[in-house]
Amino acid sequence: MIHGKGVLKHKNGEEYEGEFYNGKKNGKGKWKDLEGNTYEGHWSNDRKHGHGIYKTKEGFIYDGEFELNKRHGVGTITTPDKTKYICSFADDVEFGEVEFFFANGDHALGYINDGYLHKNGRYEFKNGDIYVGNFEKGLFHGKGYYKWADSSHFSYYEGNYFQGKKHGNGILTSIDGTILCGDFKNNYIDGEFLTISPQGIQTKVLYSKNNQVKILEKFEEKINIKEFYNQTEINTTIFSDPEYYKNLYKIPERKKAMFRIQIKNSQVKKK
């Protein structure tokens, strides 16, 4: 019976070097198998227990807490492509809030599910662009808000996404202050859109995959641009406050409804 420090080699190729208590792995030790998986950290009664670092043969690394052989507590995962994320684990399953540090320099905050951003979160691109909104399997999906840091065309987008692309009802603000309202299709400005100039002039325009086809209607009534921006989330701290994403589900929908009614009523008067 091994007691104290020692080395134990199994017939299946597994090997342990470290501390023992009454013949069982207990204390600090190193373990490896023939496939290339390794663990270095604390043990209790032959099980990984306490802080440790587990490396898989595929190149994944877990650096965090264990409880009875399972990941339990706060830990950091490093993927083979060097992306890192920090979150909590319970009974070997990720849950709750997460922070990602991507290999390409991007950064994200939110909630995790099966290794991906899920539900509401915040994604900060290396180039300065910011997305705040909903995710599904790591992709922008559902309601979202996007801010371009240095674009020659657009400033903000507020609307729906589907599997990472602008899709559905949305409001896009150009760099010159022009606003486009309509239903986006597969990331394109496609179909009939209401455009609002920086002076508040409303025009219905037909687009085909981001290209203007023709003007359909012009409206007499002008939109109060200042009032419009006061009714949008881009006028809040949604982009400057890293914690704002946690309150996304609390945003009152009545703010958007006021502006939609205003647009609908203005379409009665034509030139």
Q: Tell me which long-range contacts 228-233 makes (C-beta under 8 A, separation of at least 24).
A: 228/179, 228/196, 228/259, 231/255, 231/256, 231/258, 231/259, 232/158, 232/171, 232/256, 232/259, 233/145, 233/158
To the nearest 10°, report the CA torsion of 242, 247, 248, 250: -160
Which two three-digit tokens encode residue 268? 């009665």
pTM for the whole thing? 0.87
Percent residues over pLDDT 70 in the chain:
92
Confirm whether 197 is domain-assigned. yes
> How far apart (Å, rounded) are the C-alpha atoms in residues 101 and 118?
16
Confirm whether 239 is domain-assigned. yes
Confirm whether 138 is domain-assigned. no
Residue 260 pLDDT grade (very low, low, confident, very high; cuts 50, 70, 90): very low
Confirm whether 51 is domain-assigned. no
In this prediction, residue 270 carries a pLDDT of 38
Of 28-42, 117-131, 244-258, the range with the lowest mean pLDDT is 244-258
Percent residues over pLDDT 90 in the chain:
82
- pLDDT of residue 201 exceeding 50, the answer is yes
Confirm whether 181 is domain-assigned. yes
Residue 251 pLDDT grade (very low, low, confident, very high; cuts 50, 70, 90): low
- Identify which has the larger pLDDT, 38 or 255: 38
Q: 209-244, pLDDT tens digit by residue?
A: 999 999 999 998 898 888 888 888 888 899 999 999
In this prediction, residue 236 carries a pLDDT of 85
Confirm whether 167 is domain-assigned. yes
Q: What's the chain's average pLDDT?
A: 91
Confirm whether 57 is domain-assigned. no
> How far apart (Å, rounded) are the C-alpha atoms in residues 217 and 198?
18
> How far apart (Å, rounded) are the C-alpha atoms in residues 77 and 64?
9
Residue 159's domain comprises 149-271
Q: 41-87, pLDDT tens digit by residue?
A: 999 999 999 999 999 999 999 999 999 999 999 999 999 999 999 99
- pLDDT of residue 189 exceeding 70, the answer is yes
Phi, psi of 245 (to 5 degrees): -55, -25
* Number of domains the chain contains: 1
Please give the full DSSP string across the chain, using - where no structure is assigned. ---EEEEEE-TTS-EEEEEEETTEEEEEEEEE-TTS-EEEEEEETTEEEEEEEEE-TTS-EEEEEEETTEEEEEEEEE-TTS-EEEEEEETTEEEEEEEEE-TTS-EEEEEEETTEE-EEEEEE-TTS-EEEEEEETTEEEEEEEEE-SS-SSEEEEEEEEETTEEEEEEEEEETTS-EEEEEEBTTB--EEEEEE-TT--EEEEEEETTEEEEEEEEESSPP-HHHHHHTSGGGTTTTT-TTGGGGGGGS-THHHHHHHHHHHHHTT-B-
Please give the full DSSP string across 104-158, using - where no structure is assigned. TS-EEEEEEETTEE-EEEEEE-TTS-EEEEEEETTEEEEEEEEE-SS-SSEEEEE
- Identify which has the larger pLDDT, 131 or 250: 131
Confirm whether 160 is domain-assigned. yes
> How far apart (Å, rounded) are the C-alpha atoms in residues 79 and 58?
9
